[in-house]
Chain A
């Protein structure tokens, strides 16, 4: 949308913001990637449209301590991640100028993005101004976002194990899922531990990366807004969102509906409790063994 580009140039020129986080075209037609623009001339390369799938909120961490304001363009689902980072005091609201950009569902070279097929709505949680269009309001979710999880839950334990072995054994530990995740924002990551005895050794069986994936999903449990970036960036096309959504589904069922990144300073399900909570044994009474 040209209006976003124009408005960003205006804000850069009048000194309201010192830099813009947006997208630029890559080498092909479909690989738009996050980019930083520091003056009006650089803004020539700014693009927004069908291939701006990347969630830019994580880049805010980098600019939080820099001088002046940073303009960041966020789609409705991206504002949830931004809000979650605000909750966690990782970024300061006054350091950012948020343009909420209307979204019709994003694509990549293979067609519509998976995360957009379970669209979480068109509401902006955080914004300074919204540049929307009518077309964007019409699109809706194509599927129930828990459908994949429910399908897996219906399988037997051995089938689930085989499914995950098939998926997770493809993992090459590139850490892209960790690096892209807006909830995964620790300064020192538990996986960067040379003393673990695992970090620099190649797997000897085909299912040793499962620990990594359980831990990754657990670390963002209750804070994951289900932005779907992990699955989008995975070079091996592992359906990582199915792990995150399982946690979300469980927390919704056991501890009440909760959407990370919505509302003010709410406690997450794992940082609160009630005296009547179910005992851990409950998970073994449900579904197939």
Chain B
């Protein structure tokens, strides 16, 4: 039935005529459906000690003087004696407006220091990796909301929910639309390809002219993401941003990375426009890095890192998370920042409060975790 309707729409050209604006105008959704979530995964392990810097900790300089000295006087002051890296200008503005909430010393259950295992585990949100089910997809499913991943295929955190789609811009020459109806017919015996093509055509239609971009760096994807959330029925989006694996020359590399992140987030806010007030942005990475500088002016794989909750919906302006200290005996395995809380307990609390999920629904999102009780949203 679905397919026949689709072909009918295709044939009459109606499907290709309806615009994102038309969607927005006709929507009448429950309140939670107007509340957006943007999930940004920083792949490669961001060195949180270089970003939310514990200036007050007297051991910091002993471990990493070479990394800290050049930036210590340029940090923007945060609550509890922390300092924010100067490249995060926009984020500091948000902090002052009380829409940025850094949480320190968080980690997923992973203690492996493998990027790939730890990313999979964080995305899955369970105690073991489930490649077919991710936490954001599960959260969306609780309220029958739609999601979009800016990726070539669904990343794990967006898997397991039929309403979530993957999209990225491409500027290949478009083809005669007739070929699509022929292919839908050719795929009659192959429901998997048929469903895949249908999802592709639907998302292409939603994204309209954005399909024609040749390529999109992170800040452009952020802009497209904001526009899409502000004008369509999509409630949650996922963005990925790599390049954090700073084993060498960390200072210049993180300057660049953080500038790009900051620029992208600025674009996101601008394009969300008034919808910013109803948005929760979650920014996290798979693990932190070694407390000590390594032999090549960088840092190696560590354990705890920091999480950012941001957006107009967030009750920000302070730094949360218990600080474990940086004395040798306070480190995890005498090398890494010790995790003091489960990253999922914060993400879960923020999601629960933002989307008004009840405890039973939360148990479907993060089955193994009890969420933080503090008020993070509103």
Asked if chains A and B come from one complex, the reply is no
